[in-house]
Amino acid sequence: MHERLEPIFEEVVRRNPGELEFHQAVREVFESVGPVIAKHPEFTEAKIIERICEPERQIIFRVPWTDDKGEVHVNRGFRVEFNSALGPYKGGLRFHPSVNLGIVKFLGFEQIFKNSLTGLPIGGGKGGSDFDPKGRSDAEIMRFCQSFMTELYRYLGEHTDVPAGDIGVGSREVGYLFGQYKRITNRYESGVLTGKPLLVGGAQVRPEATGYGLAFFVDEMLKARGASFDGRRVVVSGSGNVAIYAIEKVTQLGGVVVACSDSSGYVLDEKGIDLPLLKEIKEVRRQRISEYAKARAGSGAVFVPGRSVWEVPCEVALPSATQNEITGADARTMVGNGCIAVGEGANMPTMPEAIRIFREAGVAFGPGKAANAGGVATSALEMQQNASRDSWSFEYSENRLRQIMQDIHTRCLETADAYGMPGDYVAGANIDGFTRVAEAMLTLGLI
């Protein structure tokens, strides 16, 4: 870390005690942007670093709701509006028991630079609740979403803050949230939420966008090394939205996905994951991944409970579950098994020691703020369609997504080269994303 940044990082830790994920996200950016600080003293003079680490607004609120038996529950809601230098705050809502202020701040901080990398006019924010949607009925989820939006709506707007989905928040939840926003405000403001169902202003390719974008980005990384997905053995962690559509696009690009997971363990299917079956189990039945192995037992699929999916040998790894899922020990195993590329579908799924191991071993490593930016990029395209009362075809939307991911890949490589770190996607993503935000903050003055 650059010597000018060390005291700033110490102050970030002091001001945000106990928020370890946030500290980790800040350190990862700081370790890359030292050369930018040296080249642009005006950023130091204007205290850009200090300002960019402090959210513009942090909102915490109570979310009371009743279950189907009439019992009252109380959860906590969050929205961190981190930086609006480039446009309205943009970032998802996460419903999961692990959600706390530190998690939301880490996600929001990452979102600033991810959104910047897309080249689209969107700022960074994040939100969510410690509500657990697992096992809840549609009616319970609707009541929770309505209570959540009853407080959050006052901070939102298509030119102010535009949430989307994340873990635990899909089109069903976004539909309920948008319905309550519409009811309270008496405005059919489609652009206030993205990831909506198609019938109420959603966009084609939005459900697929993060997973597809991840596959497109990793495909570009492989091409840069004279390789491709064709015939490659691929492992994807998770089995939610990102993982499912990453599996779909990787398969279309010629890769063979042999394993995926959920919090209970992983399934190994040497013949390749049966995507229609996985979608049926996860998106329709909402069951555990073990049901996949039961249904495919005759084809040799097995379920391995309580173990890391990263013990399965692969050439390409796509961590798409949650933060800090790949440890240093996992990384050593993966390198030993011949892994040549890692693309982060989740936010910060790779621990710092693991990133170091991958980089030292020459593994192509695509950080989340670049590799999984397809979701927010397509959300911005949804905002564009809502603003113009338009609707694009699936093919046109997918081509826009592919072009954005190719552009992000090119900027990461070119920026890394320009700063003397060829092939370092982490440095390239952090420097390019940071520089664009920093220059916008200077332009807007001290606000």
In the sheet that holds 265-268, the strands lie side by side as: 302-305, 265-268, 256-262, 233-236, 316-318, 341-343, 364-366
- Nearest CA to 368 out of 6, 112, 96 is that of 112
Task: Provide the 8-state DSSP code for 220.
Answer: H
Residue position matching structure tokens 């959600």: 99
In the sheet that holds 161-164, the strands lie side by side as: 57-66, 72-83, 124-129, 89-95, 161-164
327 is in an annotated binding site: no
Q: How far is Cα 309 from Cα 129, in angstroms, rounded to an integer?
A: 27
249 is in an annotated binding site: no
DSSP labels, 85-137 = SSSSEEEEEEE-TT--HHHHHHHHHHHHHHHHHTTSS--EEEEEES---TT--
CB atoms within 10 A of CB 10: 10
The residue annotated as part of the active site, out of 105, 126, 196, 282, is: 126
147 is in an annotated binding site: no
90 is in an annotated binding site: yes
146 is in an annotated binding site: no
Do 352 and 24 touch, CB atoms closer than 8 A? yes
Q: How far is CA 346 from CA 233, 237, 318, in A?
A: 20, 9, 9
**Is 126 among the catalytic positions?**
yes
114 is in an annotated binding site: yes
252 is in an annotated binding site: no
Please state the residue numbers annotated as binding site: 90, 111, 114, 165, 210, 241, 379
Please state the residue numbers annotated as binding site for substrate: 90, 111, 114, 165, 379
Catalytic residue ranges? 126
Please state the residue numbers annotated as binding site for NAD(+): 210, 241
